[in-house]
Amino acid sequence: MSGKTSIRLFQESDISCKLRWINDCGNNRFLHYDLPLDEDKTRVWFHKNKDRTDRYDAIIEYDGIPVGIIGLLSIVDGRAEYYITLGESQYKGKGIARDASVLLLKYAFDELKLREVYLYTEVDNIPAQKLFEKCGFVKYRLDKNSAVNRGQFVDRYYYVITASEFGSVNKGK
């Protein structure tokens, strides 16, 4: 694909896309949401969170078309937790998630001046792990039974990328 990937702040008009993407069984296997997402609750979530400075919720666009969500949570003390869901299946496997991740990490390190960004991913989520490692995240540890997904305890890996690691991995991108 030769189009342009961009990210922009999540807006109220994006709620219908988020509902569709998160409620899609092809997308939500590894997501820790109270499913299915409900429109009224999601609208309340949006209004409660839109002005917070300790999080950044964004939409991934490809040639101006919304294709997923990405963001940073718990922005505090120079650190934040990364998340991503590419919601439109026809755009998966084309480098869009990686491009969006690089844009988000540039924002995190260059604009927010964070020292590090971390994430957790379930052990079975191999495609996500490949994405994170391509972006320069380093797998630090295995956290056994560290979360509950659909009533079952799951093992997760903890990944981190620092500002300096990001700079050396993503020079010129």
Residues in the chain: 173
Task: Write out pLDDT tens, residues 66-89.
Answer: 999 999 999 999 999 999 999 988
User: 5-169: what fold?
Assistant: Aminopeptidase (3.40.630)
Contacts of range 17-20, beta carbons closer than 8 Å, 24 or more positions apart: 17/59, 17/66, 17/87, 18/42, 18/69, 18/87, 20/87
Residues 6+ apart with CB under 8 A from 155: 122, 123, 142, 143, 144, 145, 146
Where do the structural domains in the chain lie, given as residue ranges? 5-169
Task: Write out pLDDT tens, residues 98-150.
Answer: 999 999 999 999 999 999 999 999 999 999 999 999 999 999 999 898 888 87
Contacts of range 136-143, beta carbons closer than 8 Å, 24 or more positions apart: 136/105, 136/161, 136/165, 136/166, 136/168, 136/169, 136/170, 137/161, 138/165
What pLDDT score was predicted for residue 3? 81
Listing DSSP states for 125-140 in one string gives -HHHHHHHHHHT-EEE
What pLDDT score was predicted for residue 141? 95
Is pTM beyond 0.75 here? yes
